[in-house]
Each structure stands twice: as C-alpha cells, then as structure tokens.
C-alpha cells in the first residue's frame, strides 16, 4: 500500500510539472504573438506614414505599373514611385499604364483630359526612329 501512495505522489508531481510547463509554454507563445501583433501594427503605421508623405492633396500621379495589391504610382512633381493599395477596383478597371490620376479629398480621380493630352503628346518609337534616321 505504501508503494501505491508513493506512486500517487510521484504521478501528482509529474502532472503538476506537466501543467506548469504547459502554462509556461503557453505564456511564452502568447507573449510572442502579442509582440508580433505590435510589430505588425507598427509596420502598418510606418507604411501609412510613408504613403502620407508621397500622397499629397491635389497632386497628379502617373500610373507606372500594376501589382497584385494595387497600383504603382509616380508623383509627377517629385518623381517618387510608390505602391498605392487604396484604389477602388472600379477605378483600377478603367486605368492603364501612363494614365494620370489626381489625389483629391482622400481619393484618386481619373484625369481623362490630362491623360489624353499626355498620350497624344507621346511619339511612337517607330515614328521617332523614322524621324531620326532621315536627318
């Protein structure tokens, strides 16, 4: 009977260590998740601050390329290129490379006339080569 009592005590100690180890690992895991969440929030805030530095009210932006998340835009005043992920899908469906957008009242507006003028001012590469080869 004393052997059973000792076995019970040993089993309870093992269970207690198991529970303590589990609780410690769980606490470490939760602290790690919290830290990752805080880092992610910090990174998102940094990205937003960076966007606010290049995204200016009433500025013009040229579409440079499309990405899986949004559109690469070039500020036409500063020539800074950045990825803009806050463009509605219906606007993305209307625009293409070299289209001109204006940032106004917190959203992008397609500048159709400016885009047309810009596109009409571009010289086709073959036309350019033809003009330069005859000189």
pLDDT digits 0-9 by tens, 45-77: 555 555 556 688 899 999 999 988 899 999 988
Q: What is the mean pLDDT of residues 91-101?
A: 93
Region 58-121: CATH code: 2.40.50
CA–CA gap between residue 27 and residue 94 (Å, rounded): 50
pLDDT at 103: 93
Distances 39 to 3, 25, 36 between C-alpha atoms, Å: 54, 21, 5
pLDDT at 31: 76
Q: What is the pTM of this model?
A: 0.56
Cα pseudo-dihedral 41, 43, 44, 47, rounded to 10: 160
Tokens 């992008």 correspond to 108
Higher pLDDT, 121 or 7: 121
Confidence of residue 21 (pLDDT cuts 50, 70, 90): confident
């Amino acid at each position: 009977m004393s052997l059973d009592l000792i076995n019970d005590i040993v089993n309870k100690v093992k269970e207690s260590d198991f529970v303590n180890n589990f609780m410690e690992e769980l606490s470490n895991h939760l602290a790690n998740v919290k830290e990752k969440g805080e880092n992610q929030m910090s990174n998102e805030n940094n990205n937003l601050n960076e966007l606010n530095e290049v995204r200016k009210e009433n500025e013009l932006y040229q579409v440079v390329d499309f990405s899986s998340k949004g559109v690469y835009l070039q500020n036409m005043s500063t020539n800074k290129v950045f990825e803009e992920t806050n463009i509605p899908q219906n606007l993305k469906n209307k625009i293409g490379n070299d289209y001109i957008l204006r940032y106004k009242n917190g959203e992008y507006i397609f500048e159709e006339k400016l885009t047309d003028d810009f596109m009409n001012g571009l010289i086709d590469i073959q036309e350019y080569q033809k003009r330069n080869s005859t000189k």
